[in-house]
C-alpha cells in the first residue's frame, strides 16, 4: 500500500496536452511537393483507392487511407511524403469543426459515448481504450464512455460492418435517445474498403447508419480520436 | 501423409501419439481448380522432431464429403470440425456438436463460402438455425450477455446456464467480426494480401505478419538476413510486452483495482510510442515484409528503446510488487477459473493459457524460427491453472522479453547485414506453413499459391482459436462476477479468431 502511494506521489500528474504530431517515422497526413510529375503511380498502387488524380496532382480521400505508405514508396519523383501529423476528422454533416482550444474554453459541454465494434480488427478499440489512460485522460474534456447505448449521446463505431453484426449495430442505434450522433472511427468504418468486398461484409458504416463524423486512420491515433470527440461534443450542442 | 477420408480418424489418432503431439490446426481446402478434389489437412506438432506433421485426407471431386469425425478421439478438433462443416460443407460423422460456428443466422444452410464455386462477394440470405447450448432443469436459469458489451471490448455472445450463483455451463457464440478474410485474400498477390494479414488483428499484427511471411519465405527458399531477423525479434517481443503489460492492468480492471489499471495503461502507452518510433505505426504495422523488414533500427532509436525499457522494467516491477501485496486482488485471482493440465492437453491449448496449467510449450523454443535458437530464454510455467497463474506467467514473460530485446539490441550493434534479401520467387501449388509465438500463444499460417503466384488458400489459426473453448470450461463452478476476470486472464482476441 505504501509502495502504491509512493508511486502516485513520484509520478505526479502524467496527463499531457493534446498534440497531433507523433514520431518522425509516423505515417500521417500526406503532402505533395512541387516535384510531382503527375505520373499517377500513387493512385495505381493504392490498395483501397484512396488516391485520385485531380489536375495532375494526387488528392487523398483520407477516409479510405490505410496509411500503409505504398503511394509514398511508389512516387518516383519523391514528391509525395507522409508528415508526422494526425489526419483530422471529417464532419459529414453541415457544421464546421472548431479547434480544440476553443472547445476546451466552453463550459457545460459533455458527451457520453458508447463504443460499438461492428467488425473491427481491435486496433481502433485498443486506441479507444488508451483514451482513458492517464496520458490522454479523456474525462478532463467532459467526455466519458458509458456502458449502454441508452446512456449515450453518440456511438463511436469501429470496424467494417459484418453480416454477423449488422443486426446488433442497428439495434444499438435504435436503443439511443434523440438527439444522437454517429461516429465512424477508422478506415474500416469510414470507408469499408480495408478487406475489399466479401460475402461476410455489409460495408462501410454509412451503408446502415447515418454517419455524422468520420475519423481517418488505421487505426486513428488517440490524439486524432480526442479531436474528433471534442468536435462531436460541439456538434451535439447544436443539435440540442 | 495422405489418407482416404475414411482413414482420417485412425491416422490422426496415430499422429497424435496418444495426445503427446497436439493437434495444432485443422482446416479444409478446395483443390478443384488445379485438378484435385476437396482436402482436410490436420497439422500435428511433432514434439520429438520439433516439426509439424501434416496429415491430408483427399476427397474425390464428386464425394459426399463425409468422414469420421476426429472430435470423439481428439477433443481439440471440435471447433475446427464445426468450421469445416460451415465453410466447406464437410460432414464429420459422429461429431457430438455440429452446430454452426462461423456463419450466423443470416446465411442459408447450404452456403459454404470457401468453396471455389462461391463468389467472393456472394450475397445470399437465408435463415440458418443457431441454437445456444443451454442446460435445462428445475431452478436453472439463463443469463445472456452480449454481443455488445458494456466496456470497450470486442463482440461476442455468452449464454450462462446458472444454478443459483454458480455457472453450470457457458456457451460462447463468437465469429461476430467474421470478415471472410481467408476468402478475401484468395487471388491476391502475396504483397497485396500482406496488408490484409496485418489487419486480421490489431494486438497480434506482428505475430500474424511474421507467420505469414515465414510461410512465404519457405516457398522462396531464400534466407532472411540476420539484421532483419534481429529487428523482427525486437518487434515480436515488443508486441508481447505491450500486450502483457496492458493485460496486467486489464486484469486488475476485472476486479476494479484502479491504480494498477492506470499504471499498466501508462506503461503500455510508452511502448506503443516506441512502436510508432520504429515502424511509423503504433501497432508496428508496415515493418515486417516477406524477405525482411522495411525500416532499420538506427542507433538513436536503439538508445531511445533502451531508455524506455529501463523505465518500463522498473515501473512494472513496482506493479508486480503492489499486486503481490494486495490481498483483495489475490483473493479474487487465486483458485478462480481453473484449467487443469489434462484439459489443457486435451484441448491442445497454447501460450499463456497452456503454460499456466503446467504445459511446457512455446513455439519459439519448440519449433525454433528466426534467431530464437541462439537467443536463450526461459519458458515460464505455473501449475495452478487459475487466473493468478496466468498473471504470473505474464509477469515472468515480461522480464524474459525485456532481456530478449536487450540481447537483440546488443547483437544489432555488431551486425551490418541487409534489411531485405531482395526479390523473392515463390514455388507454386505447394503447401507451406509459418509459425510464431504471439502474446497469446502460437500463431500458425498455412498457405498455398496458385499457378499464377497468387494466394490459392490461406488458413489462419491464431493463438485464440484453440484457447477459446477452454474459457467456457474454466468458468464452470465460478460466479458471473468472476467471468470478466477469467476472460481477461486469457485475454483472447475475437478478431483473430473470427477472421
Q: Domains, chain B, ranges and CATH?
A: 2-128 (3.30.460.80), 181-489 (1.10.645.10)
**Residues of chain A positioned with their CB less than 8 A from the CB of B202:** 120-126, 219
Fold of the A30-82 domain: Alpha-Beta Plaits (3.30.70)
**Residues of chain A positioned with their CB less than 8 A from the CB of B279:** 25
Min Cα separation B195/chain A (Å): 8
Output the CA–CA distances (angstroms, integers) from residue B278 to A161, B183, B208, B245, B270, in the order listed: 31, 32, 18, 19, 13
pLDDT number for residue B97: 93
Cell of B245: 503489460
Of A133, A118, A147, A162, the residue nearest B154 (C-alpha): A118
pLDDT in tens, A91-139: 766 543 444 444 445 445 678 899 999 999 999 999 999 999 989 988 8
Q: What's the rounded Cα separation, in Å, for the pair B55 and B133?
A: 31
The list of chain B residues with pLDDT below 50 reads none
- Residue ranges of domains in chain A: 30-82, 90-239
Q: What's the rounded Cα separation, in Å, for the pair B297 and B494?
A: 32
Output the CA–CA distances (angstroms, integers) from residue A31 to A20, A67, A142, A150, B278, in the order listed: 16, 13, 34, 42, 21
Let me know how long chain B is.
499
Optimal mutation site among A8, A126, A200, A219, interface B, most CBs of chain B within 10 A = A200
Instruction: Respond yes or no on whether the N-terminal peptide bond of residue B479 is cis (omega within 30° of 0).
Output: no
Residue B147, chain A, CB below 8 Å: the answer is yes
Q: Are B86 and B65 in contact (CB under 8 A)?
A: no
Which residue shows C-alpha cell 551490418? B416
In A132-191, the residues whose Cβ lies within 8 Å of chain B are: 132-135, 145, 147-149, 159-160, 162-168, 172
pLDDT number for residue A98: 45
pLDDT number for residue A103: 45
Confidence of residue A40 (pLDDT cuts 50, 70, 90): confident
**Residues of chain B positioned with their CB less than 8 A from the CB of A7:** 259, 263, 315, 318, 322
Of A122, A124, A199, Cβ closest to residue B493? A122
pLDDT in tens, A159-208: 999 999 999 999 999 999 888 889 999 999 999 999 999 999 999 999 99
Q: Are B454 and B216 in contact (CB under 8 A)?
A: no
Of B71, B74, B75, the residue nearest B85 (C-alpha): B71
Residue A143: phi, psi to the nearest 5?
Answer: -110, 135
pLDDT at A37 over 90: no
Cβ–Cβ of A199/B269 closer than 8 Å?
no
CA B323 to chain centre: 28
SS (H, E, C) chain A: CHHHHHHHHHHCCCCCCCCCECCCCCCCCEEECCCCCCCCHHHHHCCCCCEEEECCEEEECCCCCCCCCHHHHHCCCCCEEECCECCCCEECCCCCCCCHHHHHHCCCCCEEEEEEEEECCCHHHHHHHHCCCCCCCHHHHCEEECCCHHHCCEEEEEECEECCCHHHHHHHHHCCCCCCEEEEECHHHHHCCCCCCCCCEEECHHHCCCCCEEECCCCCCHHHHHHHHHHHHHHHHHHC
pLDDT number for residue A54: 85
β-strand partners of B462: none
pLDDT number for residue B62: 84
Q: Are B238 and B405 in contact (CB under 8 A)?
A: yes
Q: What's the rounded Cα separation, in Å, for the pair A6 and A95?
A: 47
Which residue shows C-alpha cell 464546421? A96
pLDDT in tens, B239-267: 999 999 999 999 998 888 888 898 999 99
Task: Report the sign of the C-alpha dihedral through residues B82, B86, B91, B96, in that order.
Answer: positive
Cβ–Cβ of A130/B268 closer than 8 Å?
yes
pLDDT number for residue A109: 67
Of B226, B227, B196, B224, the residue nearest B209 (C-alpha): B196
Q: Which residue of B has its CA nearest to A198?
A: B121
Of B205, B265, B495, Cβ closest to residue A130? B265
**Residues of chain B positioned with their CB less than 8 A from the CB of A151:** none
CATH class of the structural domain A90-239: alpha beta
Min Cα separation B426/chain A (Å): 22
Cβ–Cβ of B278/A25 closer than 8 Å?
yes
What is the interface size between A and B, counted as CB pairs within 8 Å?
185
How many CB atoms within 10 Å of residue B337? 28
Task: Report the sign of the C-alpha dihedral through residues B179, B180, B182, B187, in that order.
Answer: negative
pTM recorded for the entire structure = 0.93
Neighbouring C-alpha atoms within 13 Å toward the C-beta of B476: 13
pLDDT number for residue A169: 95
Q: Are B71 and B65 in contact (CB under 8 A)?
A: no
Amino acid at each position: 500500500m505504501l509502495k502504491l502511494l509512493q508511486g502516485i506521489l513520484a509520478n505526479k500528474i502524467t496527463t499531457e496536452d493534446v498534440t497531433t504530431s507523433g514520431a518522425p517515422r509516423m505515417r500521417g497526413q500526406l503532402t505533395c511537393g512541387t516535384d510531382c510529375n503527375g505520373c499517377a503511380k500513387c493512385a495505381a498502387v493504392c490498395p483501397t483507392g484512396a488516391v485520385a488524380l485531380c489536375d495532375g496532382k494526387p488528392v487523398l480521400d483520407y477516409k479510405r487511407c490505410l496509411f500503409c505508405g505504398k503511394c509514398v514508396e511508389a512516387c518516383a519523383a519523391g514528391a509525395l511524403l507522409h508528415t508526422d501529423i494526425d489526419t483530422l476528422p471529417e464532419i459529414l454533416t453541415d457544421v464546421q469543426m472548431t479547434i480544440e482550444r476553443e472547445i476546451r474554453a466552453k463550459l457545460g459541454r459533455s458527451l457520453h459515448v458508447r463504443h460499438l465494434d461492428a467488425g473491427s480488427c481491435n486496433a481502433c478499440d485498443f486506441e479507444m481504450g488508451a483514451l482513458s489512460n492517464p496520458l490522454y485522460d479523456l474525462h478532463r474534456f467532459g467526455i466519458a464512455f458509458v456502458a449502454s447505448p441508452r446512456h449515450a449521446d453518440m456511438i463511436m463505431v469501429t470496424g467494417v460492418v459484418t453480416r454477423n453484426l449488422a443486426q446488433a449495430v442497428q439495434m444499438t442505434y435504435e436503443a439511443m435517445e434523440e438527439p444522437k450522433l454517429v461516429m465512424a472511427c477508422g478506415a474500416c468504418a469510414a470507408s469499408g474498403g480495408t478487406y475489399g468486398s466479401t460475402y461476410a461484409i455489409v460495408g462501410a458504416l454509412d451503408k446502415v447508419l447515418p454517419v455524422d463524423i468520420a475519423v481517418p486512420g488505421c487505426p486513428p491515433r488517440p490524439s486524432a480520436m480526442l479531436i474528433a470527440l471534442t468536435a462531436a461534443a460541439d456538434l451535439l450542442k447544436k443539435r440540442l | 501423409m495422405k489418407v482416404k477420408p475414411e482413414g482420417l480418424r485412425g491416422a490422426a489418432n496415430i499422429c497424435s501419439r496418444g495426445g503427446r503431439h497436439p493437434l495444432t490446426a485443422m482446416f479444409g481446402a478446395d483443390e478443384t481448380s488445379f485438378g484435385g478434389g476437396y482436402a482436410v489437412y490436420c497439422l500435428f506438432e511433432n514434439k520429438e522432431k520439433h516439426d509439424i506433421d501434416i496429415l491430408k485426407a483427399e476427397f474425390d471431386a464428386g464425394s459426399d464429403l463425409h468422414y469420421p469425425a476426429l472430435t470423439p478421439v481428439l477433443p481439440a478438433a471440435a471447433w475446427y470440425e464445426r468450421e469445416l462443416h460451415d465453410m466447406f460443407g464437410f460432414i464429420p460423422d459422429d461429431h457430438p456438436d455440429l452446430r454452426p460456428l462461423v456463419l450466423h443466422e443470416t446465411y442459408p444452410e447450404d452456403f459454404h463460402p470457401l468453396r471455389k464455386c462461391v463468389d467472393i462477394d456472394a450475397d445470399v440470405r437465408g435463415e440458418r438455425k443457431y441454437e445456444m447450448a443451454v442446460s435445462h432443469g428445475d431452478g436453472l436459469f439463463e443469463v445472456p450477455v452480449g454481443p455488445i458489451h458494456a466496456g470497450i471490448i470486442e463482440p461476442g455472445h455468452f449464454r450462462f446456464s446458472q444454478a443459483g450463483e454458480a455457472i453450470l455451463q457457458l456457451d460462447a457464440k463468437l465469429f461476430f467480426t467474421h470478415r471472410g478474410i481467408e476468402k478475401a485474400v484468395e487471388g491476391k498477390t502475396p504483397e497485396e494480401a500482406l496488408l490484409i494479414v496485418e489487419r486480421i488483428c490489431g494486438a497480434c499484427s506482428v505475430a500474424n505478419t511474421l507467420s505469414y511471411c515465414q510461410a512465404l519465405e519457405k516457398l522462396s527458399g531464400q534466407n532472411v538476413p540476420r539484421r532483419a531477423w534481429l529487428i523482427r525479434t525486437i518487434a515480436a517481443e515488443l508486441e508481447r510486452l505491450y500486450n502483457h503489460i496492458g493485460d496486467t492492468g486489464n486484469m486488475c480492471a476485472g476486479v476494479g483495482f484502479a491504480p494498477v489499471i492506470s499504471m499498466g495503461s501508462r506503461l503500455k502507452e510508452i511502448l506503443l510510442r516506441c512502436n510508432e518510433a520504429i515502424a511509423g505505426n503504433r501497432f508496428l504495422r508496415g515493418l515486417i515484409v516477406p524477405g525482411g523488414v522495411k525500416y532499420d533500427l538506427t542507433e538513436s532509436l536503439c538508445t531511445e528503446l533502451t531508455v524506455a525499457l529501463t523505465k518500463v522494467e522498473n515501473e512494472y516491477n513496482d506493479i508486480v510488487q503492489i499486486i503481490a501485496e494486495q490481498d483483495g486482488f489475490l483473493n479474487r485471482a487465486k483458485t478462480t477459473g481453473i484449467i487443469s493440465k489434462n484439459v489443457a492437453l486435451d484441448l491442445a491449448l497454447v501460450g499463456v493459457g497452456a503454460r499456466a496449467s503446467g504445459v511446457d510449450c512455446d513455439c519459439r523454443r519448440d519449433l525454433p524460427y528466426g534467431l530464437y535458437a541462439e537467443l536463450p530464454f526461459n519458458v515460464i510455467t505455473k501449475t495452478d491453472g487459475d487466473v493468478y497463474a496466468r498473471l504470473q506467467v505474464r509477469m515472468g514473460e515480461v522480464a524474459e522479453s525485456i532481456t530478449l530485446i536487450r540481447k537483440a539490441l546488443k547483437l544489432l550493434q555488431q551486425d551490418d547485414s541487409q534489411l531485405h534479401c531482395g526479390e523473392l520467387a515463390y514455388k507454386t501449388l505447394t503447401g507451406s506453413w509459418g509459425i510464431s509465438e504471439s502474446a497469446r500463444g502460437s500463431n500458425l499460417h498455412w498457405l498455398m499459391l496458385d499457378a499464377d503466384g497468387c494466394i490459392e488458400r490461406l488458413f489462419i489459426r491464431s493463438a485464440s482459436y484453440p484457447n477459446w473453448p477452454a474459457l467456457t470450461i474454466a468458468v464452470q463452478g465460478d460466479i458471473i462476477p468472476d467471468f470478466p476476470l477469467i476472460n481477461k486472464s486469457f485475454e483472447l482476441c475475437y478478431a483473430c479468431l473470427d477472421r
